[in-house]
Amino acid sequence: MESGALSGRIGVMQGRLSPRQGDRLQAFPQNSWRQEFSQARALGFECMEWIFLADTASDNPLASAQGRREIVSVIATSGVPVGSICAPYFMVHKLAGVTEPERAENVQRLRELVVWAHAIGATRILLPLLETAALTSLELQDQAVQSLRSAARVARMADIVLGLEMEIPGAEYAAFIDRVAEPNVRAYYDAGNSTAQGFDIAEDVLHVLPHLEAVHIKDRKAFGKSRPLGCGDANFRGLFAALAKRGFAGDFVFEHYFESDPIAEAAQGLAYIEQCVADATRNAA
């Protein structure tokens, strides 16, 4: 992405360039993940976000040495790197709110995922601390801090950032990351989910800016559902203007909603977001 003040890449999450599996928007594209890399390259995306889900974890190529070798091969052939791994796996196998033996096992799996991420060249793991994994009490926050600190030590050695996605006001979001107090535990802000909470993302994101690693590009109605990019209430122009003004250099990754045609709608969404970025960059100059 040639953007001047905004110098990060624009990437796309796995599964958003493949037909839906039933009514699921979030799914590992088992039969088309290889083709998605070449499709991403053709569309102009600069990196891929691998997805690691609980229900398909054992079949995910990331979980085997042979699979990781194939991922590296596809990266080399396509020229599209895996920048990050999105791990909703930990919304089922939680880092807080489970028994201590379960939590220890889940933290160990996160340490393993760090090693796997490093093996394929990724530098970031997204941990969704929301919905079923939301930290809704001080006790849950205490447990999550312990889990994250334990995993962060291994991640730091592998030069992996643990990016936290949360659906709470930016000031509280930043305060939690401050509490973890690990330099490689940072914020992975979701534009759509924060919009759905009723936040003006152009203002809300400023609270987490010192910790901001990357941004998920998604559009939702305020207090409502996901919509195609540009059709919801997400204040993208304000968001990009705020980030451009401050020289944000992290990645923007599409986790967008599509209705029927994943390739055509990804292309339309990319054109819209690139225009928003270009406008923000020009105005920040």
Quickly tell me which residue has 């089922």 as its tokens.
92
Q: Model's pTM, two decimal places? A: 0.95
Q: How far apart are CA 128 and CA 142, in angstroms?
A: 17
pLDDT of amino acid 1: 38
Contact at 8 Å (CB) between 50 and 87? no
Place of tokens 């949360």: 166
Query: Is pLDDT at 76 greater than 90 in this prediction?
Result: yes
Tokens of 133: 């994994």
β-pair partners for 161: 124
Mean pLDDT of 84-112: 98
**Each residue's pLDDT tens digit, 136-181:** 999 999 999 999 999 999 999 999 999 999 999 999 999 999 999 9
Share of the chain above pLDDT 70, in %: 98
Closest by alpha carbon to 243, among 281, 191, 186, 217? 281
**Whole-angstrom distance, CA of residue 36 vs CA of residue 44:** 12
What are the pLDDT digits (tens) for 17-69? 999 988 888 899 999 999 999 999 999 999 999 999 999 999 999 999 999 99
Higher pLDDT: 8 or 174? It is: 174
